């Protein structure tokens, strides 16, 4: 049971480039999330999904896109990278059956846009 996995661990992009951050979970969780963490700040929700085919915006969605074609995978797409998107990105998942939302996090992707 690998939990939540993220690839890549590190990436450097040039302004205007695009990339996809991969996230997968093997816990059969319905809910999945993408957060970003800037230095000295908390976790800001970018997008989330309550099940395959269903996604919704979080607090800071601009500049990002997501899709959820399977329960396991929740990729995050950056279309035109900007320096403001330099951050550490965390994917998380949770099980809706509990009523309360205890989330399990991946190890993160550190992205630098130059």
Footprint on this chain of other proteins (rule: CB under 8 A)? 4, 31, 33, 40-43, 45, 48, 50, 58, 90, 92, 94, 96, 99-108
CB-wise, 23 or 81, nearer to other proteins?
23
Report the nearest approach of other proteins to the CB of residue 73 (Å).
Answer: 17
Report the nearest approach of other proteins to the CB of residue 105 (Å).
Answer: 3
Tokens of 33: 């999330």
């Amino acid at each position: 049971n690998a939990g939540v996995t993220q690839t890549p661990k590190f990436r450097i992009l040039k302004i205007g480039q695009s990339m996809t951050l991969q996230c997968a979970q093997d816990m059969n969780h319905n809910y999945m999330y993408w957060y970003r963490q800037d230095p000295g700040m908390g976790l800001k929700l970018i997008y989330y999904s309550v099940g395959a085919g269903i996604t919704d915006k979080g607090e800071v969605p601009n500049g990002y896109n997501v899709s959820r074609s399977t329960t396991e995978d929740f990729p995050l797409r950056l279309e035109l990278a900007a320096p403001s998107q330099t951050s550490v990105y965390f994917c998380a998942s949770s099980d809706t059956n509990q009523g309360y939302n205890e989330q399990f996090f991946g190890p993160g992707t550190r992205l630098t846009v130059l």
